Structure 1
Amino acid sequence: MAVVRLGDGSRRPRRFMGALRRLRLRWVVAAMYRRALRRLRACYAKAIRDVLEGAALFGAARADAGV
């Protein structure tokens, strides 16, 4: 069976470029994960603040009602 390979016989630059591409992709994915984690922390902190504020308001409303 005949096999045809396209391109020149030099494989070294292609390996280097492939490694560079994989490394860049890892950096991009890591940056995306860091950004998502930062957003998640901000949302979580905001949700906790809202819950504590709501509990304080509810406690104040109960105290005003005399319950």
Structure 2
Amino acid sequence: METLRYLAQDGHTVICSIHHSRGSVYAKFDDVVLLTGGSLIYAGPANDEVLAYFSKFEFVI
């Protein structure tokens, strides 16, 4: 993940598919696209905005 982070910081586009990542891995992402059943449910910054977004729908307590 560190290598991918360095590539992104150097201006390269990096696309990853992760499943159930650790918090330390997730923290390295700038933006995320979340899908379920092939449908988009979130696209945006990979920070507290994700929690705020899903808390509107009562998915996060």
TM-score w.r.t. length of structure 2:
0.23
TM-score after normalising by structure 1: 0.22
When Rg is computed on C-alpha atoms for both structures, the one with the higher figure is 1
> Comparing both chains, which one has the higher relative contact order based on Cα–Cα distances under 8 Å and sequence gaps of 6 or more?
2
